[in-house]
């Protein structure tokens, strides 16, 4: 062993950085560099390991190269767990149909799924990490090891934590539904579905590191019950926000009236747009979550007789309000009158106004007023 005397200031910096002094002082590689030692000290039935080596490239710092090599060793450790999942996991699938009206879904329950992407990184905890640099050979070494029992305890805890998150999300979604916030409730359940994906993956990992794990530790029944409930709630909440629409046409008199009666154009357009945004339009006011009132009108912009180009054009106007029946409050009122983005020319007043009401700009302006309140 060659003792290198370093200034106290340099020594302190190395200690604070957590940098292994063996890199600087050791002239021979440690025992863990040898295959036989690792196999003996870290038997495969108790440990997952990752070991990598590389040559130090010119111009690259030893510290930076070692850190990169440590990450590679940990990645290799994780990949060994993934290989176990792919190679040894027994898969048993059962499925059943869930239906509610026209909505339906197939729920597949998989005890231990093999569908783990090759690039997926396994979560590792309490990883024992070692690295060193051999200046005599210019070689870098890194070794990562994790005890199976530690990993099993971690994955088992994560399953419990994530299932608790799902149960909390379901409770919150029920409260949101009671408050008339069905879209927020559905988003909460969609988040819970993502968490259940993590539960499945952690279950795969737990089985990989402990093939003898029982159903109680995996919490299989609890997990399956929650998957079924989340799937059902997603169906129940799909387009469950009900909107009652009260549409009318306001006559201005004389030249400003492009129509002799209510064309119902905007009402149909907004109704379709609401359906495309997770809502359902209902004819029953008493069952609705929201009441949307739309009053349309037209204004002549140019009469087609005067001006440089003599073009006949009309504005499409709308006044509206949105009423929340759960809170019994009017959430928004708006008016789009003689808007420069909402007019069109035509062969006659009806043709011009019809084109104006069909403009995407008018629909978008209305949706910008009401959707944020419905989706809150």
Which of 291, 368, 367, 282 is closest to 329 using CA atoms?
Answer: 291
Q: One digit per residue, pLDDT tens: the chain, 376 residues?
A: 334 444 444 333 333 333 444 444 455 789 999 999 999 999 999 999 999 999 999 999 999 999 999 989 988 888 888 777 765 544 444 444 444 444 444 443 333 333 333 323 444 567 899 999 999 999 999 999 999 998 899 899 999 999 999 999 999 999 999 888 898 899 999 999 999 998 988 898 888 889 899 999 999 999 999 999 999 999 989 888 999 999 999 998 889 999 999 899 999 999 999 999 989 999 999 999 999 999 999 999 998 887 666 799 999 999 999 999 988 999 999 999 999 999 999 999 999 999 999 999 999 999 999 999 998 7
Q: What is the pLDDT of residue 282?
A: 93
Q: What is the pLDDT of residue 239?
A: 85
Q: Are 187 and 234 in contact (CB under 8 A)?
A: no
Cα–Cα distance for residue pair 86/319, rounded to 1 Å? 60
The model carries a pTM of: 0.67
Rg value, the chain, Cα: 33
> End-to-end distance of the chain based on CA atoms, in angstroms?
68
Which of 251, 256, 361, 332 is closest to 296 using CA atoms?
Answer: 251
Q: What is the pLDDT of residue 86?
A: 61
What crossing angle do the helices spanning 182-209 and 220-236 adopt, rounded to 10°?
Answer: 150
Task: Identify each DSSP E strand in 73-135 by its residue range.
Answer: 93-100, 103-110, 128-134
Strand-strand pairing, 128-134 and 241-249: unpaired
Domains of the chain: 8-90+126-146 (no CATH), 241-374 (3.40.50)
């Amino acid at each position: 062993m060659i003792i290198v005397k370093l200034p106290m200031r340099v020594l302190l910096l190395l200690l604070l950085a957590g940098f292994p002094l063996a890199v600087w002082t050791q002239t021979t590689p440690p025992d863990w560099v040898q295959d036989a030692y690792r196999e003996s000290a870290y038997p495969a039935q108790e440990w997952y390991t990752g070991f990598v080596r590389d040559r130090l490239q010119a111009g690259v710092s030893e510290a930076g190269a070692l850190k990169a090599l440590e990450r590679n060793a940990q990645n290799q450790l994780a990949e060994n767990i993934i290989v176990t999942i792919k190679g040894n996991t027994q898969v048993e699938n059962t499925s059943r149909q869930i239906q509610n009206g026209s909505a339906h879904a197939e729920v597949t329950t998989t005890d231990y799924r093999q569908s783990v992407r090759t690039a997926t990184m396994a979560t590792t905890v309490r990883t024992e990490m070692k690295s060193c640099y051999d200046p005599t050979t210019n070689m870098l070494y890194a070794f990562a090891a994790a005890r199976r029992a530690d990993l099993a305890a971690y994955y088992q805890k994560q399953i419990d934590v994530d299932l608790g998150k799902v149960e909390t999300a379901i409770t919150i979604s029920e409260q949101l539904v009671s408050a008339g916030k069905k879209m927020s409730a559905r988003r909460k359940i969609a988040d819970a579905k993502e968490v259940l994906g993590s539960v499945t993956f952690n279950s795969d990992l737990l089985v990989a590191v402990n093939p003898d794990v029982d159903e109680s530790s995996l919490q299989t029944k609890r997990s399956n019950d929650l998957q079924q409930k989340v799937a059902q709630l997603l169906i129940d909440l799909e387009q469950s926000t009900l909107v009652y629409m009260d549409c009318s046409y306001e006559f201005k008199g004389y030249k400003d009236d492009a129509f002799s009666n209510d064309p119902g154009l905007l009402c149909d357009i907004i109704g379709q747009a609401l359906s495309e945004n997770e809502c359902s339009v209902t004819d029953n006011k008493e069952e609705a979550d929201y009441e949307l009132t739309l009053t349309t009108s037209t204004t002549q912009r140019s009469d087609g007789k005067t001006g440089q180009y003599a073009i006949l054009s009309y504005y499409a106007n709308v006044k509206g309000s949105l009423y929340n029946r759960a809170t019994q409050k009017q959430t928004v009122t708006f008016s789009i009158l003689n808007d420069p983005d909402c007019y069109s020319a035509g062969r006659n007043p009806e043709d011009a106004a019809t084109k104006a009401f069909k403009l995407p700009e008018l629909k978008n302006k209305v949706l910008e007023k009401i959707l944020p309140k419905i989706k809150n």
